[in-house]
Structure 1
Amino acid sequence: MSFQLPEPQPNQAYVEVSALEAGIITMPLMIVIQGAGPTDTSVIPSLAFSIRHKQSGEHLMFDLGVRRDTEALAPKTQWLIENHMPVQVPQTVEESLKKGGLNPDEVQTVILSHLHFDHVGRPESFTNAKFVVGPGARELLEKGFPGNPESDILTSTTPLDEKRSRFLTDEDFNVSIGPFPRAHDYFGDGSMYVVDADGHLAGDVVVFVV
């Protein structure tokens, strides 16, 4: 495995990134740390990221944090929040964007790392955005709530219409970057890569930026 990254180039394409407040979660540590006690918790931020491609001016979001109206989530997720993982949303991602001078309807693309509630926010706020999700996400959406009452994934998280969504396939991950063997050069100019990070949930991706 190589950790060597490409050398900077003259007139290198790049993106600008801003981390946005998008909710707070009280996380039971037993979920993430082996040996943690049943009452051990940690308060962690749920972050979203505003990305602007400098060359084209395109505005993107990577993840949308937690929605304030948690009653709109699947019942299984509501139970998790009420009994194990309380959330607070002092400032939604929409409010964070507006403080920076950008309205949600100006965002052109939303890339979701995966479909858990603390990453997908309130996607219906982004009325003009195309949604991008990783391999395997479509099947989770098609089998989501309300069609499947036991699912914690909302089918409405991402439009199933391919005019509004891009469902990445294994074939899209055709380049490597540093230690990541499966990446997709999103703009084709080396400024931002969507990296296959399957393992946490089907369709899991991360974004690597220059």
Structure 2
Amino acid sequence: MSNNSLPPPQSDQPFFEISALEAGFMTFRTDIFLEPQPPSLSPSWEGPSLCFLLRHSATGEYILFDSGFRKSMDQYPPVAQALIQKFFAPVRVSHDAADRVAEGGLSPSNVSKVIISHAHFDHIGNSSRFPAATYIVGKGTHDLAASGYPTNPDSPYGQDTLPTGRTRVLDPSDASLSWTQIGPFEHALDLLGDGSAYIIDSPGHLPGHINLLVRTSTDGAWAHFAADSVHDWSLFHGTSVFAAHPDVGCVHLDKESAVRQVAKLRELAKVPRVRILLAHDVPLWKKARENDWDGFWPKKIPSL
């Protein structure tokens, strides 16, 4: 399979209907994330933390990709609280992901799987709010949580990030799992075994960082949830590059891998009928506020 192709649909191909959820807002400092500063952005900007609710066309199963903020900052480890206050305040969280799911008429207990892209505070939500869901994470996410607070009081990652007894850990080096290349991505895992969704190993930002590629039609349309592989569209388009802040460094722990991941997303975008969705998509949120886009649950994001 070439870098510019994705698996063709099978007969009666299952797919997903997808909807966006807003689960909080945070402040982004341009000097931490981007250089040079795009003309469309001020020295800091407020961006949403977006999650995505997916419904399987054949089974009706609901899957959540990422779960945004917790409703109260004091639910995070002390080190995380300090980092949030220093670099990302103000933060606004009127509703968490479970609230948004319920607002649209679905009980959070009906969500069967929650995929967490990585361990940062604006993506993990609160696992107790989805009591019946299996959590699916990369190995790095699991390891950061397992070794975190309170056992390690200096860790910004909490040991309560993942629910005991209902977490599935995916390791791209595990030969027992059927990882394969999909388009430009070397490590993709067929999540349900029916070609409807693929976990994408997406290194660079944080250990264990994963994306999700799903079909959105029976005839060849896709959506890719890029999480924090790209924080702003200027990075995707190449008008900005990852910043190197003197106090923070790069927000991507493995900058070289992160740069390669953005290049793969650009390759993916060349495939017809692929929609790329970012976790902190400011233009998309502005369009929604201006009633120019309405893909928020219970409504659906149109398939391409």
Common fold: TM-score over 0.5:
yes
After alignment, is 179-188 or 87-96 more displaced? 87-96
For 2:113, the aligned partner's letter is T
Q: Which moved more, 1:53-62 or 1:18-27?
A: 53-62
- Determine if the alignment matches structure 1 residue 177 to structure 2 residue 182: yes
**Residue 173 of structure 1 contacts residue 182 of structure 1 at CA under 8 Å; is this kept in 2?**
no
Distance 1:90 1:69 in 2: 9
How many Å apart are 1:7 and its aligned residue?
A: 2.7
The answer to whether structure 1 residue 150 and structure 2 residue 154 are counterparts is yes
- Show the counterpart of 1:7: 8
- Counterpart of 2:193 in structure 1 is 188
Cα deviation, residue 203, structure 1: 0.8
Shift of 1:138: 2.3
Deviations 1:169-196 (A, max 9, x none): 2233611211111100001111000000
Normalized per residue, which structure has more strand? 1
Larger CA deviation: 171-180 vs 50-59: 171-180
Tell me the TM-score normalised to structure 2 length: 0.65
Task: Specify the alignment match of 1:97 in structure 2.
Answer: 101
Equivalent residue for 1:130, pick from 127, 134, 138: 134
Find 2:63's aligned residue among 60, 65, 75.
60
Aligned to 1:149, what secondary structure does the other structure show? coil
Identical counterparts, % of pairs: 38
State the Cα distance separating 1:42 from its structure 2 match. Answer: 1.6
Unaligned runs of 5+ in 1: none
Q: Matched residues in 2 for 1:30 and 1:75: separation?
A: 25
Amino acid across the alignment from 1:58: E
1:47 maps to which residue? 50
Q: Secondary structure at the residue paired with 1:181?
A: strand
8 Å Cα contact 1:173-1:195 kept in structure 2: no
C-alpha spacing 1:32/1:173, structure 2 compared with 1 (3 Å) = farther
Q: 2:200 corresponds to which letter in structure 1?
A: V
Structure 2: which 5+ residue stretches go unaligned? 216-304
1:167 aligned partner: 169
The 5-angstrom pairing of residues 9-88 of structure 1 reads 9-36=10-37, 40-86=43-89, 87-88=91-92
Calculate the TM-score normalised by the size of structure 1.
Answer: 0.92
Give 2:285's aligned residue.
none
Distance 1:149 1:173 in 2: 37
| Alignment partner of 1:118 is 2:122 | yes
Pairwise CA distance, 1:148: 0.7
CA distance in structure 2 between the partners assigned to 1:29 and 1:133 by the alignment: 29
C-alpha displacement at 1:6, in angstroms? 2.4
Moved over 6 A (4+): none
Q: Distance in 2 between matches of 1:144 and 1:112?
A: 17
The corresponding residue for 2:231 is: none
How many Å separate the matches in 2 of 1:31 and 1:147? 29
- Per-residue CA shift, 1:23-77, capped at 9, x if unaligned? 11111122211355xx821211101111112222221111000111111101111
Q: Which has the higher contact order (CA 8 A, sep 6+)?
A: 2
